[in-house]
Structure 1
Amino acid sequence: MRGDTVRIDVLGVGFDNLTLAEAAERGMELLHTEGARYVVTPNPEIVEVCREDPAAREAVNGAALVLPDGIGVIKGAAMLGTPLKERVPGVEFAARLLERMAGEGKSLYLLGAKPGVAELAAERLKERYPGLRIAGTHDGYFQDDGPIVEDIRQSGADAVFVCLGAPKQELWMARNGPATGARLLCGLGGSLDVFAGTVKRAPKFWRDHGLEWFYRLCSDPRRLGRMIKLPMFLIHVKREGRKK
């Protein structure tokens, strides 16, 4: 279900051209639709992975919603002459969904992060969103999908936040979505750590000026290897732009 949204192609990944509010509205529509759908939130790093990995690209483009989480994607789309409305951070999209889900008494399963993080996130989310029901939790350290899928199915969760990192989470949702029995699955990277309070988001100033990536790098220099993909992404965008 893609609705009538025209997708904007950025290096082979098709992004839905929506504002945060529009994306949340579409997410709730999916939550009320029969069948399983999933949402992905690629940043430039993930786009670069998709350029090199056809399976990852297929999983990302197969999502019902592909949201631009990363100022680099916004800049890249503009450079290609096909601007996107705005950045839609996965954690903010999730927060909008949670507010709506809580109001309707919907249930959520949390999957991912280190042992104990999902449980802590669950407790904090229940406090922040009264009415939200936590159907279950599981950390991201598992080898066999089967027991996890069955646990989600047995829980009766309406939605699942899948936080396994990219492209593992995208491939997992594409492979297992229908079997979970949930209607909506959202690939949200490190969001469980944010919800649990074990990792803090960049201050508003940094986010408003498109510098959240730099704040995260300063907070965790180990991310440097991953951040190398950002300049490569911009180089590839410039090359693609010259072809037009």
Structure 2
Amino acid sequence: MAFPTVQIMDVPFIKATNRAFLEQLQQDITQKNRRFIVTANPEIVLYAKDHPDYLTTIKAADYITPDGIGIIKASTALKTPLPERVTGYDTMIALLKKADQQHLKVYLVGAKPEVMARVVTKIQTTYPGIDLCGYHDGYFKDDTKILADIKAQQPQLVFAGLGYPKQELWIKENYHLTNGIWMGVGGSFDVLSGLTKRAPKFWQDLHLEWFYRLLKEPTRFKRMLAIPKFMLLIRQEKSKN
């Protein structure tokens, strides 16, 4: 199934609900399809705008999902509305649940060593049906052994929490090694580990998850400036049409 896409600053986002997307991923798993998933927020779109090589990389993905309320608001402003957010964290959790039920092989790469250690414990206790066939923190200079291990293990799911642009560049270069799903998950390992708290549902429902994170991590202020900059560019794009 090929989803229709919505172009936002030259980035093609899939027009799909969470449910439809997960159904498609289940089909991909069953059919052993090789897939590359990018979960893109306004920061990623802005970075891609200024870095053509990165834009080319993410446009090579099979699915680019709208991870961030800013993307949803932009799609509405451009009169090509996307149905809902499809976040990296929620998609990762849904896939871990599937992996638990279906005894799939999962490989993890990314985060700090202490974060990865907690993630491994969390997965082993919460999802005992998963075959956690390998994991490595994100602080490596040479990935030769990691890639050899992935090729040997042939996991159905590879989650890379290396942060953008590194994780997308790394996946694009290496996802040919398996007939499975590779997804960049950014800081999702930090949340899964319990070291970073996700916004409560109340904040999420109000589309203020970004503000909650800012209150908890004031050092993110500079990064948060990407949101108004992004929306300004969207308004400018809208005025041209």
Q: How does the TM-score come out when normalised to structure 1?
A: 0.95
Partner of 2:93: 95
> In the TM superposition, what whole-angstrom CA distance separates every residue of 1:192-226 from its partner, at most 9, and x where no partner exists?
11111111101111111111111111111111111
Matching of residue 49 in structure 1 with residue 14 in structure 2? no
8 Å CA contact retained: 1:159, 1:182: no
Partner of 1:138: 136
> In the TM superposition, what whole-angstrom CA distance separates every residue of 1:126-185 from its partner, at most 9, and x where no partner exists?
222231111111011112232221122223322110100011111111111113x25110
Matching of residue 187 in structure 1 with residue 184 in structure 2? yes
8 Å CA contact retained: 1:43, 1:73: yes
Aligned length: 241
- Paired with 2:93 and 2:239, the residues of 1 have a C-alpha distance of 38
How is 1:171-186 mapped onto 2 (pairs within 5 angstroms)?
Answer: 171-179=169-177, 181-186=178-183
> In the TM superposition, what whole-angstrom CA distance separates every residue of 1:3-59 from its partner, at most 9, and x where no partner exists?
331110011110001111111112222223345311110000101001111121112
Matching of residue 241 in structure 1 with residue 238 in structure 2? yes
Tell me the SS of whatever aligns to 1:67.
Answer: strand
Structure 1 stretches of at least 4 aligned residues deviating more than 4 Å after TM superposition: none
How is 1:1-244 mapped onto 2 (pairs within 5 angstroms)?
Answer: 3-179=1-177, 181-244=178-241
Tell me the SS of whatever aligns to 1:237.
Answer: helix
- Paired with 1:87 and 1:40, the residues of 2 have a C-alpha distance of 13
Unaligned runs of 5+ in 1: none
- Paired with 1:33 and 1:175, the residues of 2 have a C-alpha distance of 22
Give 1:187 deviation, angstroms: 0.6
8 Å CA contact retained: 2:32, 2:179: no
Tell me the SS of whatever aligns to 2:12.
Answer: strand
Say what the alpha-carbon RMSD is for the aligned residues. 1.3
8 Å CA contact retained: 1:33, 1:183: no
- Paired with 2:179 and 2:132, the residues of 1 have a C-alpha distance of 13
Q: How does the TM-score come out when normalised to structure 2?
A: 0.96
- Report the residue type matching 1:202 in the other structure: A
